[in-house]
Structures are given as structure tokens and as C-alpha cells.
């Protein structure tokens, strides 16, 4: 039987001269059923991780079923054809392992971090839910996790101060029907509506080996590991190619000013723009700009709002990078006695400034230094979210090349201050953004004034 | 600098192997049998002493060119002077706000440009000033660390800034049900005059009262080479580290070791339920607990495994019951805080408001249940989870440094790490049962619930857990601070 069609060996990453060279060698295979397999050896501790990405997230949900991809993620831990409910966690714990999963707009990822002797157990459990999930699924198990997920929504959004900001931002930033128009947690109404038939349909459409990528990293023997991967995953039949999503164009051409009241002491301002997709031209520039705006006491927004003027308690700018597009956000909480017009005025001044004058070389270099240091830290562990295995899978999904570490860092190192200014000019328009104020109940006067729209 | 090569011979070889494997029948009816776990071989802990007596502990780890270096001073929240709650915390926070004549902004700029991070924060009995840096920036970063630890200036204008920031933090706690529940629980369990019973940053009154000399006094009393030690982990060898540390820390003044003693707080004698009203809250935050035991005790391993069964893992009884069986919550757990003096035993969760009484009832069912003998299977699973998962604590320099710190702070034996796995695996069913009987007393608990009183009070009353007392958020946190 034809099994292996590609074998890449790749030695990546020569960090810049002053850093010691680091390599993340990996081997890659594609099984006949289409499962992409990435293996990486790291014998630092006798542990390993099994990291599985399914190329589906909340962006693939149907209308009226928001939150479904994430609810489905929960169901993946509820047992499968040969693994009774509850045994997934019990067997892993009995072997000294931990596991988790997460869902975003683009993908759903799962990991099992185990002592290296438990490799085959992790493969057995993970492959069983890929091949035989429906064998254990019932309307009752769907209901049980529906309640858990509703409580996740209560805990992380509804009962958390400012927690409803996100769904209001995304609803206004992207047009109706766009995959990023809703949040991954979804709405209570849609969570209630999800049916057992939806589960079956979603599983058959998206949870196929040909729509997934498996990375195993850590204390492994790659040849033996590949044999075990074939043994446990090789017999799972391929599915039809997953249907691609076809998003309507997303471009904001006005400033949308929104106000929410919440049970909070202090008003908080959110400004959001649609920006270039992950790894697209402009994405790295916006990352660097976020660093220049809010990372450290000397960063522009922090220094003015929090350090010098002391009219804000905190400020945070970041580029949230995703497959179809990204969002650049600036979030600041006003101090007592200050309103969001004051905060917005300062932020606007800094946006105008970066559009008219490039940042200093030192500001850009500092951002690059910090990204490089963060990259080194990621080299320290294979498992969990954000470990080497998760990164290899992430690079594979977003670029087609698991070994994108070097290209990723080079994106930042090659930037000039003028590039930052140019992208700020292009992607931070005053008349194409969402401005959300969350104010204490009854204190609408603290919000950004909607009358200023189109200013 | 990437090479991408396709090896044709390797492809052919793997073809042949693949054919053989796929002829096997995969039996999924039983989980695969596992080979025995590999041993955890840790590098040796190296020790040396600088000329001023400062003790240094090093674990070399050369896979990634990063270094974690923690200066640990034996003084913390428990050493706050009377009437100066928050002094230890503010002293730590002020270290990076001006040192060796450099301003707050200059220090931040220097550290940020290196891509290094320095974090100064107090624990209850120790204050950590932790440096994490790429190896290539180690010398520059170490100099900054030495400035911060040895030569802080405590400038008044920065203190005023930090005071406003912290008063605003207190203000924001009023919004946060989990913060309210945690602060209330500690205060009610330990009393607000006891180190573990008060917020680390102090109160509105004490924060407003700080002047630079308060922090300078705290610093002068405890920050010296005799009362401190250093833990280093990373891509550096002993000789180089010794030379670098002698240069930067060899001149740190000697002084007196901190001999303050912290006695255990008095135990809870009867169950009281404190209901803190948060109108219209969609969830109730529940904290249940009592005083546990200190870190250094012969019962440590048994209690740790017992709690793993009760609420210390995903498959634990509390999480399985409240989350998986009943869907009351996104997660529920229990925990023992192991500190110098006895810390808290806590069982906690955020549950849907409508099922608050049912959730409390299930919590108490589990607190009673753990006092019965546990099955061999459950015990085995919990022991394996703790013991076999132990190597996972030794992957990053930051985590290894934390392990080393714990070993030194509690004076654990030199073979502690190496014997940990076998010690956990030897815990017996009888020891678990004894530990549960001794430390989990469901009739003598503090219960804190932060939630919508109108919706939940009647149901809670009917449970008859103990006297029910109503508290307001202001009773717990005080009035909203006035900030100029």
C-alpha cells in the first residue's frame, strides 16, 4: 500500500549572529488518507506531545449555529467508539498525562502531553475520536457539554466585567455573513439550537484525516513513531474535501461609534480596525506597531496615557492575526474622573503622529529584540498551547510550511521604520473603524460621543 | 538558511515498512500496554558562595540559549510592619521604579531593549526578583538586575504613581466576582490581621499612607546577602556564572537573617455561610474551605494525592460531578495552599445561579465522600498522574527555577527531586484515608458565595449548612477608594 509520498528533512533557524544557532529539524509525511504528519525530536525531558489540528473553526459555522465548532471541541473529550465516556481523561491521567483543546475562528487544536512511554496510548485515544467519535455520541452527551459550554460563556463573558465587548466589536467590524462576524463562544440561543444531527454533519464534513494535521514532538524515535501513527490512523478513511468558506468582502468605510453600559467602575475604550491576514504583507508591521504603542513604560500610548498624564489605568494594543484577515485593536481603561473622549484624543494624536513620521530605528529594533526573545522561549517546550508542536502545526496551516520559523522572524528583522508608517497610513483609517465605549451604568456621558462620527 | 531536500531512497524504504505495518489488525478494544516510563535524569544542582556569603544554586541547561536567574529575599507579605499592610509588595514594585540614579523610564527602556524581563513580586515569606533573558544579553541584564536589587532609589514621584495605580486596582475589584470571593474567603478564614488573610497590596488606608522611607526601611532591614539566595537555571556554566555574580553581587552588604516566625492561624470551628450579594449575576462564585497544613509535614504526599482524587485534576471527583455529570459549571476544583504556616484548603467553582444550592450540596457530598476509603483504581490513577507527570515540571528554565526555589525555601533534602516519584507512588490507601479524615472536615467550613441574593438565598438556607450571614461587597473590600 502506498503510504509515504513526501519526506522533507529540514534544518531551520539560524538566528541572528549574536544568538546561538537553533534548529527545529522535522520530518513530514502524508498518509494515504491525507493525514499530514510532522515529527520533531527533542530529548530534553522524557516527555512528548501529540498535537492535532483540525482545519475548522468558528468561521466555518452555519448561520444560527454560532459557537458550534467550540461546542464540538468539547464533545471530542466525551468518549469515542472504543473509549467509554470519561475514559479519555482517566486513561491519560493514569499515564501521567495532561490534555486540552482550543477553538478559534480558523482552526481547532488538541494536545496530549504525556511521559514518552505513553505515546501509543495518546495515539490510540486521539485516533479513536478521529475515526469513531460518533460511535459514542448521543443527544445526552451533547446536552451535557452544551450546559458546560453555556457556563463557560457565563464565566468568561457574561459574569466578567467588560466581557460582552468582543461580540459587539466583531458584529460591527465584519458584515453579516462574514465568518468573523461572531465570536467563537457563540450565542446562548444558537448553543441551545445545536442538534445531534448538526454534530454528525459537522464531524463528517470537517473531522476527516485529510482536513487535519498531526504533530508529535518530544522524546520520540521518529521511525517507530511513524509506524505507530500508521497503525492507529492509517485505517481511518479519507473524507470528501472540506468545503472552503467564501467570505464576503470585509471593508469598513465609516467610523462606527457604539456605547454599552456594564456593571463596572471605570469606562473602557476599544478601537478596532480590519488589518492584513496572518503572514500577509502588513501583518508584521502591525505587530511591530502594537509593540511601539503599548509594550513597556516607554511605549507611546502607555507613556502618555498611563505614565505621564495618568488618565488611564492601562492601555493595550495588539494585532490579532487570523487566516482571512486580522484585527488591530487598542484598548484603554480610563482612571476615575476621566472620560473616554480624553483617552481617544490622545490615542488619535499618536495615530496621527505615526502616520506622519516613521518610528525611530530603536523603537523598531526593540520590538524585534522582544519577538526574538519570545521565539527563544517557545523553543523550551514541545507541548501545550504555543509549544513547538503547536507552532509547527500552526506554520503548516497558515503557510503550508511547518518550518516557517526563520521566515517568520525575518519578517520582523527586515522591516524599516518607513514600513511601519506606511502600513499605519493604509490600515488605521479614521473613517474605517469601530469605536466601542463600555461605561458604568447610567454614565453615558463618559463615552466617546457618537456625534463626532465622520469627523 | 533553510535546506529542503527530498531523499528518494528514504521514501522507498518507508514504503516497504508501511506495507508491513498496515497488514496488522488494529485491536482497539483495549488501550495499548505501555512500556515502563523513562527515568528523569536531572542535571546536578551546583552550589557556591560569593565572597559576601550570598548562596547560589545553579542547574545548567544548555538546550536553549536562555537564562533564568532569581534573587530570593527572605521577607514577604508576612513581614509587613504593623499598620503598613502592603509594604513588602510596594517595596518589590518600587525596585524597578528608580535605581542607581537611573529613572523608572530608563530602567524600563534598558530591559525592554534587551528583550529581557525582570519581575519583582512578593510571596508571603519570600520576595522574588526574577530575571529571564536571552543568553546573549545576560551580562547587560545582570547589571540591571544588580542595580535594581542592590541600589534602589525609591523616588517619591514614582511612589505616588504606583499608589494611584493600586488604589485603582482596589476600585476594579468591586467589578470582579472572583476577586471579591477570593478576598472575602481569605479574610474570613484567616482574619484580616493575619498575613494570609489580607490582600498583598494592603488597603486604601495603608497604600495612601506610604512614604518612601517606609519602603526604604523594609528594604534596609531585609535586603542583604545574608538573608537572600540566588537560583540560576540555563545555558551558563558554573565558572562563568560565579565570575559574573561575584562582579555584580559580591559587593552586596551582609546583614541579619530574618527570623520572624509565622504561627498557624486558628482553625474553623463551625460552618458559616457568607452570602455576598451581586445583583443579576448569571453565576455564583463559590469558595468552601478551612485551614489546611504547612508545606513541611509528613502528611504532604498523602494530602497531595488525596486532593488529586478530590479536586486536583480534570478526572477528580469534584470536577466530574459538578461539570461532567451535572453541567453546573465550566470547571470545579480543590486545592491545598502549601506555605510556611498552614495555608488554606479551598474547593471552588463558578456555577450557574439557578443551581447554586444544588452545586453546594454536591460539593459537600464530595467533601464527605472523600473521607470514605477510595478504590485502588482511583488511588493508582491519582498517584500516577502526579508521579509520572512530574518530569513535565522540568522543561523550562522558569519552571525549573521555581522547583529549585521551593526546595531551598523549605529546606527539602538533596535527593528530593530524585525520590519524589517513588515517594508519591508509595502512598497507601490507608494514608489517603487518614489524611482525608484529618484535613477535610465538612462540618467545619467557611462557605463564601458571591451571587444574586434574590435568586439564591432561599435555596442556600434550606441546605442548613450552618449560620448564614449576609455581607455586602463593601463589607469585604471597603468603600470605593477616593483617588485624587
Per-residue pLDDT of chain B (484 residues; tens, 9 = 90+): 223 333 333 333 333 333 344 445 699 999 999 999 998 889 999 999 999 999 999 999 999 999 999 999 999 999 999 999 999 999 999 999 999 999 999 999 999 999 999 999 999 999 999 999 999 999 999 999 999 999 999 999 999 999 999 999 999 999 999 999 999 999 999 999 999 999 999 999 999 999 999 999 999 999 999 999 999 999 999 999 999 999 999 999 999 999 999 999 999 999 999 999 999 999 999 999 999 999 999 999 999 999 999 999 999 999 999 999 999 999 999 999 999 999 999 999 999 999 999 999 999 999 999 999 999 999 999 999 999 999 999 999 999 999 999 999 999 999 999 999 999 999 999 999 999 999 999 999 999 999 999 999 999 999 999 999 999 999 999 999 999 7
Question: Using the 8-state DSSP alphabet, how is residue B380 labeled?
Answer: H
Spatial distance between the Cα atoms of B137 and A372, rounded to a whole number of angstroms? 12
**Could you give the angle at which helices A283-294 and A340-356 cross, rounded to 10 degrees?**
130
**Model confidence pLDDT, tens digit, residues A312-360:** 999 999 999 999 999 999 999 999 999 999 999 999 999 999 999 999 9
> Distance from first CA to last CA of chain B, Å, rounded?
57
Measure in Å the smallest separation between the Cα of A244 and chain B Cα atoms: 29
Contact at CB, A96 and B389, closer than 8 angstroms? yes
Contact at CB, B21 and A13, closer than 8 angstroms? no
Spatial distance between the Cα atoms of A276 and A273, rounded to a whole number of angstroms? 10
As a dihedral over the C-alpha atoms of residue A216, residue A218, residue A223, residue A227, rounded to 10 degrees, the angle is -40
Does A455 lie at the interface with B, CB-CB under 8 angstroms? no
| Residues B129, B149 contacting (CB under 8 angstroms) | yes
Cell of A185: 463562544
Cell of B456: 439564591
Smallest CA-to-CA distance from A210 within A31, A349, A332 is with A31
Spatial distance between the Cα atoms of A23 and B63, rounded to a whole number of angstroms? 11
Whole-Å CA distances, B59 to A218, A381, B147: 21, 17, 24
Contact at CB, B385 and A266, closer than 8 angstroms? no
Cell of A305: 496615557
Best of A67, A96, A99 to mutate (most B CBs within 10 Å, chain B): A96
Rg (CA), chain B: 26
Q: Name the segment(s) of chain A with CATH classification 3.30.830.10.
A: 27-233, 255-358+416-452
Does ipTM surpass 0.85 in this model?
A: yes
Q: What is the DSSP string of B98-119?
A: EETTEEHHHHHHHHHHHT-EEE
Contact at CB, A95 and B320, closer than 8 angstroms? no
**How many other CB atoms are found less than 10 A from the CB of residue B314?**
20
The residue written with cell numbers 444531527 in the block is A197
CA atoms within 13 Å, Cβ hemisphere of A3: 25
The residue written with cell numbers 510556611 in the block is B340
Contact at CB, B14 and A377, closer than 8 angstroms? no
The architecture of the domain spanning A27-233 is 2-Layer Sandwich (3.30)
Helix (H) or strand (E) holding A390: helix A388-399
Return the CATH class of domain A255-358+416-452: alpha beta
In 3-state terms, what secondary structure has residue A318?
strand
Size of interface A-B (CB pairs under 8 A): 279
Best of A155, A406, A409 to mutate (most B CBs within 10 Å, chain B): A155
Cell of B233: 537555571
The residue written with cell numbers 492561624 in the block is B265
The residue written with cell numbers 476600585 in the block is B171
In terms of phi and psi (left: phi > 0; alpha: psi -120 to 50; beta: otherwise), the region of A115 is beta
The pLDDT averaged over each successive group of 10 residues in chain A (455 residues) is: 34 35 83 98 96 98 94 97 96 98 97 98 98 93 93 95 97 96 96 94 97 98 98 97 90 96 97 98 98 98 98 98 97 98 98 98 97 94 96 97 91 97 98 98 94 49
Spatial distance between the Cα atoms of B89 and B121, rounded to a whole number of angstroms? 7
Does B31 lie at the interface with A, CB-CB under 8 angstroms? yes
Contact at CB, B4 and A10, closer than 8 angstroms? yes
Q: What is the DSSP string of B192-229?
A: TTSGGGS-TT--HHHHHH--HHHHHHHHHHH-SSTTEE
Task: List all residues of chain B from 278 to 307 with a beta carbon under 8 Å from chain A.
Answer: 280-283
Task: List all residues of chain A from 330 to 359 with a beta carbon under 8 Å from chain B.
Answer: 335-337
Which among B7, B63, B174 has CB closest to A7?
Answer: B7
Amino acid at each position: 500500500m502506498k503510504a509515504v509520498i513526501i519526506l522533507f528533512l529540514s534544518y531551520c533557524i539560524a538566528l541572528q549572529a549574536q544568538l546561538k544557532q537553533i534548529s527545529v529539524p522535522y520530518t513530514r509525511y502524508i498518509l494515504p488518507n491525507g493525514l499530514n504528519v510532522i515529527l520533531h525530536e527533542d530529548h530534553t525531558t522524557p516527555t512528548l506531545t501529540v498535537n492535532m489540528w483540525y482545519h475548522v473553526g468558528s468561521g466555518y459555522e452555519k448561520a444560527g449555529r454560532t459557537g458550534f465548532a467550540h461546542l464540538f471541541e468539547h464533545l471530542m473529550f466525551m468518549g469515542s467508539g472504543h473509549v467509554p465516556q470519561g475514559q479519555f481523561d482517566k486513561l491519560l491521567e493514569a499515564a501521567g498525562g495532561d490534555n486540552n483543546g482550543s477553538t478559534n475562528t480558523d482552526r481547532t487544536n488538541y494536545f496530549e502531553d504525556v511521559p514518552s512511554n505513553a505515546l501509543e496510548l495518546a495515539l490510540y485515544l486521539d485516533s479513536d475520536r478521529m475515526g469513531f467519535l460518533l460511535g459514542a455520541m448521543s443527544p445526552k452527551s451533547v446536552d451535557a457539554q452544551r450546559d458546560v459550554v453555556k457556563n463557560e460563556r457565563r464565566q468568561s463573558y457574561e459574569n466578567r466585567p467588560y466581557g460582552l465587548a468582543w461580540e459587539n466589536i466583531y458584529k460591527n467590524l465584519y458584515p453579516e455573513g462574514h465568518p468573523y462576524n461572531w465570536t467563537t463562544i457563540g450565542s446562548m440561543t444558537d448553543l441551545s439550537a445545536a442538534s445531534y444531527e448538526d454534530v454528525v454533519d459537522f464531524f463528517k464534513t470537517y473531522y476527516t484525516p485529510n482536513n487535519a494535521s498531526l504533530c508529535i514532538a518530544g522524546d520520540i524515535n521518529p521511525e517507530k513513531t511513524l509506524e505507530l501513527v500508521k497503525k492507529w490512523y492509517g485505517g481511518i478513511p479519507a473524507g470528501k474535501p472540506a468545503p472552503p468558506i467564501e467570505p464576503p468582502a470585509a471593508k469598513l468605510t465609516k467610523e462606527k461609534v457604539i456605547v454599552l453600559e456594564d456593571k463596572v467602575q471605570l469606562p473602557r475604550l476599544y478601537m478596532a480596525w480590519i488589518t492584513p491576514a496572518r503572514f500577509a504583507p502588513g501583518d508584521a508591521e502591525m505587530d511591530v506597531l502594537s509593540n511601539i504603542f503599548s509594550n513597556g513604560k516607554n511605549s507611546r500610548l502607555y507613556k502618555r496615557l498611563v505614565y505621564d498624564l495618568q488618565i488611564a489605568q492601562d492601555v493595550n494594543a495588539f494585532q490579532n492575526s487570523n487566516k482571512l484577515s486580522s484585527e488591530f485593536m487598542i484598548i484603554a481603561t480610563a482612571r476615575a474622573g476621566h472620560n473616554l473622549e480624553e483617552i481617544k484624543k490622545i490615542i488619535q494624536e499618536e495615530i496621527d503622529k505615526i502616520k506622519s513620521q516613521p518610528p525611530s530605528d530603536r523603537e523598531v529594533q526593540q520590538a524585534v529584540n522582544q519577538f526574538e526573545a519570545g521565539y527563544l522561549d517557545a523553543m523550551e517546550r514541545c507541548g501545550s498551547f504555543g509549544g513547538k508542536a503547536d507552532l509547527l502545526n500552526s506554520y503548516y496551516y497558515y503557510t503550508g510550511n511547518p518550518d516557517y520559523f526563520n521566515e517568520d522572524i525575518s519578517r520582523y528583522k527586515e522591516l524599516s521604520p518607513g514600513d511601519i508608517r506606511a502600513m499605519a497610513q493604509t490600515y488605521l483609517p479614521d473613517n474605517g473603524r469601530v469605536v466601542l465605549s463600555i461605561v458604568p451604568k447610567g454614565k453615558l456621558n463618559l463615552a466617546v460621543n457618537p456625534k463626532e462620527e465622520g469627523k | 538558511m533553510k535546506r529542503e531536500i527530498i531523499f528518494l531512497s528514504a521514501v522507498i524504504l518507508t514504503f516497504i515498512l508501511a506495507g508491513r505495518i498496515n497488514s496488522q489488525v488494529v485491536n482497539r478494544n483495549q488501550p495499548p500496554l505501555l512500556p515502563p516510563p523513562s527515568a528523569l535524569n536531572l542535571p546536578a544542582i551546583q552550589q557556591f558562595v560569593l565572597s559576601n556569603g550570598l548562596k547560589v544554586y545553579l542547574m545548567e541547561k544548555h538546550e536553549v540559549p536562555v537564562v533564568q536567574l532569581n534573587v530570593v529575599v527572605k521577607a514577604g507579605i508576612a513581614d509587613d510592619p504593623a499598620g503598613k499592610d502592603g509594604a513588602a509588595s510596594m517595596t518589590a514594585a518600587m525596585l524597578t521604579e528608580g535605581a542607581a540614579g537611573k529613572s523608572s523610564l530608563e530602567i524600563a527602556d534598558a530591559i525592554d531593549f534587551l528583550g529581557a524581563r525582570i519581575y519583582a513580586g512578593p510571596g508571603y515569606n519570600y520576595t522574588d526578583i526574577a530575571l529571564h533573558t536571552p543568553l546573549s544579553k545576560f551580562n547587560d541584564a545582570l547589571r540591571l538586575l544588580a542595580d535594581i536589587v542592590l541600589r534602589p532609589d525609591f523616588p517619591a514621584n514614582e511612589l505616588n504613581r504606583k499608589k494611584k495605580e493600586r488604589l485603582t486596582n482596589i476600585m476594579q475589584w468591586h467589578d470582579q466576582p472572583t476577586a471579591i470571593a477570593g478576598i472575602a474567603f481569605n479574610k474570613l478564614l484567616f482574619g484580616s490581621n493575619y498575613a494570609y488573610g489580607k490582600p498583598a497590596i494592603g488597603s486604601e488606608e495603608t497604600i495612601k499612607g506610604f512614604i518612601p522611607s517606609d519602603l526604604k526601611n523594609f528594604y534596609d532591614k531585609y535586603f542583604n546577602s545574608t538573608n537572600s539566595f540566588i537560583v540560576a537555571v540555563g545555558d551558563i556554566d558554573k565558572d562563568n556564572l560565579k565570575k559574573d555574580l561575584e562582579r555584580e553581587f559580591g559587593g552586596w552588604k551582609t546583614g541579619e537573617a530574618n527570623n520572624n516566625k509565622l504561627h498557624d492561624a486558628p482553625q474553623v470551628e463551625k460552618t458559616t455561610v457568607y452570602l455576598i450579594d451581586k445583583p443579576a449575576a448569571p453565576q455564583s462564585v463559590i469558595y468552601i474551605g478551612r485551614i489546611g497544613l504547612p508545606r513541611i509535614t509528613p502528611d504532604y504526599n498523602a494530602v497531595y494525592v488525596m486532593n488529586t482524587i478530590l479536586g486536583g485534576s480534570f478526572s477528580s471527583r469534584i470536577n466530574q460531578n459538578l461539570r461532567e455529570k451535572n453541567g453546573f459549571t465550566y470547571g470545579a476544583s480543590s486545592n491545598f495552599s502549601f506555605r510556611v504556616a498552614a495555608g488554606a484548603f479551598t474547593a471552588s467553582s463558578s456555577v450557574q445561579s439557578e443551581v447554586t444550592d444544588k452545586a453546594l450540596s454536591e460539593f459537600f457530598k464530595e467533601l464527605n465522600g472523600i473521607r470514605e476509603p477510595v478504590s485502588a483504581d482511583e488511588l493508582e490513577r491519582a498517584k500516577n498522574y502526579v508521579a509520572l507527570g512530574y518530569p513535565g515540571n522540568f522543561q523550562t528554565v522558569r519552571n525549573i527555577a521555581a522547583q529549585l526555589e521551593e526546595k531551598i525555601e523549605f529546606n527539602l533534602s538533596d535527593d528530593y527531586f530524585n525520590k519524589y516519584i517513588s515517594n508519591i507512588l508509595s502512598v497507601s490507601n490507608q494514608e489517603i484515608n487518614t489524611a482525608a479524615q484529618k484535613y477535610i472536615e465538612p462540618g467545619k467550613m467557611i462557605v463564601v458565595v458571591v451571587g444574586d441574593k434574590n435568586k439564591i438565598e432561599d435555596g442556600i438556607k434550606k441546605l442548613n449548612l450552618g449560620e448564614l450571614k449576609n455581607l455586602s461587597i463593601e463589607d469585604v473590600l471597603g468603600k470605593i477608594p477616593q483617588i485624587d
